[in-house]
Structure 1
Amino acid sequence: MAIDDDAGRCVSADIAAGISPAAALFHSLADENRLRIVARLARGEARVVDLVGELGLAQSTVSKHLACLRDCGLVDHRAEGRQSFYSLTRPELMDLLASAEHLLAATGHAVVLCPIHGTRHGTTHGAADARGALRAELDHDLERLDRQAGEIEGKTVS
């Protein structure tokens, strides 16, 4: 996705041409850095400076991706003095990402062999490392969400 300078919104040619909302959602999650930001925000709110330090990204990169995620309604912020604290708007986004991980596991990560997006055609080893880190973060977040759901239901989940 790119930032549309006229409107200041996160768009792509496909979205501007009217693709379905589901396709737009998945397109917004197609960037590895946006997924890393989402995974981090699933653990709690953070400032841009926090995300820069934790994810090792440039401030401009983090800000651009946060703007995109905000435009998509997946992230919002609250102001406290001169600082903005970002958080996920929809915790069920983590359920969607966990389902994607389960689907990848069930298909034997066949997407790695995809002629368009797989390692045979340009995906680097760094992407595999980042995918592993994201998977670990998602597992951690799912365990936390399971515990919270159990507490809400009045029972302890181990």
Structure 2
Amino acid sequence: MAMIELKVDETTALGAAACLFNGFSDGSRLAIVRHLAVGEHRVVELTEHLGLAQSTVSKHLACLKDCGLVESRPQGRASLFSLTHPEATMELLSAAEKLLGLTGDAVVLCPVYGIEARE
């Protein structure tokens, strides 16, 4: 049986990866993801834990949901939010922490994407 070679458009694949990382590119979204890693949360719980406005949390949850990273289910008049793929998400964040540890302050000090560049 001949193997079928699938051609992957590298530009498309890299674009999808960039979109994934954009989903994680906001500190508030990362904080939400970390809280959802321990289990389901309602918006009101996330606002209390994170000290963010309800509208901010809702906006970030909508972004994460649109990216396929978060899902929700109704519970009464509220919705419970959870990670769509918790193990893979936590593996990615763990790898990011490892890479950050290896690069030290280089990312934070980056003139294009570092903290000062965002201000």
Match of 2:50 among 29, 51, 55: 55
Consecutive aligned runs of 4 or more in structure 1 exceeding 2 Å deviation: 121-124
Partner Cα separation in structure 2 for residue 51 and residue 100 of structure 1: 23
User: Could you tell me how far apart the structure 1 residues matched to 2:25 and 2:117 are?
Assistant: 16
* Pair 1:84-2:79 in alignment: yes
Gaps of 5+ in 1: 1-18, 125-158
Partner of 1:98: 94
Q: Determine what percentage of the aligned residue pairs are the same residue.
A: 58
| Cα deviation code 1:54-105 (max 9, x no counterpart) | 1000000000000000000000011122120000001111110110110011
Q: Which residue of 2 aligns with 1:74?
A: 69
TM-score normalised to structure 2 length: 0.82
Equivalent position of 1:137 in the other structure? none
Aligned-residue CA RMSD (Å): 1.5
Count of paired positions: 105
Q: Under a length normalisation based on structure 1, what TM-score does the superposition of the two structures give? A: 0.63
Residue matched to 1:117: 113
CA distance in 2, matches of 1:29, 1:109: 19
* Paired residue secondary structure (1:20): helix
Gapped regions of structure 2 (runs ≥ 5)? 1-13
Tell me the secondary structure at the aligned position of residue 33 of structure 2: helix
**Could you tell me which amino acid in structure 1 is paired with residue 95 of structure 2?**
S
Question: Given the superposition, is the C-alpha separation of residues 23 and 123 from structure 1 closer, same or farther in structure 2, using an over 3 Å criterion?
Answer: closer
- The answer for the alignment partner of 2:21 in structure 1 is 26
